[in-house]
Amino acid sequence: MGNTRTLPTFAGRHVGIVILVSLQSLIGAIHVFFGLWLLSGTAMDYIYRIYTTVFGLTTLFFSFGLWIRKSWGWFGTVSTLLFVAIADALTLLNLPSISGIPKFAAAAEIVYSVIVLLYLSTLYNQQRKKSHKI
């Protein structure tokens, strides 16, 4: 008998992916909402307002790609999170970045991005190992 563990699933997907897609969709929706609200006219920097809206839209789009198991969903999520982590790190270091990023949110976004990137890289490595088994 094999010593194989089966992970819990929901709708044919691992629970980790369900949680990730749910969180990413929520984060995307929040950013779209606040981005559009900021675009409607506030004193914040215009570039940050556009950045927030575009980040929300791309997060929603790539979350959908993750849900339907497309590689562009994985690559898009990884590239978006890398971009956000780098932009936030530059903001925290007072280096040139997207103007208007609040420092209080930057640290939390970096931590979240690193956690998700580690999870996605773990999934990617597990799938590579499965595809190379003979």
Where along the chain do its domains lie? 13-128
The stretches in the chain having pLDDT less than 70 are: 1-7, 42-43, 128-134
For position 100, what pLDDT does the model report? 87
For position 125, what pLDDT does the model report? 72
For position 9, what pLDDT does the model report? 77
Candidates 33, 10, 35, 5; CA nearest to 20 is: 10
Candidates 108, 51, 119, 122; CA nearest to 80 is: 51
What is the sign of the dihedral through the CA atoms of 72, 75, 81 and 85? negative
